[in-house]
Amino acid sequence: MSDEAVLDVRQEPPARRHTLIFDTFRDLGPGAGFELRNDHDPKPLFYQFSAELPGQFTWDYLEQGPEVWRVRIGRPAGSARAVLP
């Protein structure tokens, strides 16, 4: 079992979710990650990460619905902390 943090945004207002997720990512050290839990496929979030942080994150689906989506989002080992817009 992993000791990484779990960020469950299912009870958060949709307008607040991406901010929470990017804030959590910003605080990661190299090689670290967290598990995101969501009530839908966070594919738009993946596209946002890809546009704003190309090559600076990892994205691994752990569970793909239909009720819960779990994704491990991480910072590759050896990478610096990202400066987010």
Domain ranges, residue 22 = 5-74
| Within-domain flag for 26 | yes
Query: Sign (positive/negative) of CA torsion 78, 63, 46, 15?
Result: negative
Q: What is the pLDDT of residue 78?
A: 77
Rounded-to-integer distance, Cα 8 and Cα 63, Å: 13
Half-sphere exposure of 22 (CA within 13 A, CB side): 17
Largest Cα–Cα separation, the chain? 35
List, for residues 35-64, the tens digit of each pLDDT value. 999 999 999 999 999 999 999 999 999 999
Looking at the structure of the chain, the number of domains it has is 1
SS3 content of the chain, % helix, strand, coil (to 5): 25, 25, 45
Q: What is the pLDDT of residue 37?
A: 98
Which CATH number covers residue 11? 3.30.110.40
| Within-domain flag for 58 | yes
| Within-domain flag for 82 | no
Alpha-helix residue ranges (DSSP H) falling in the chain: 14-26, 43-52
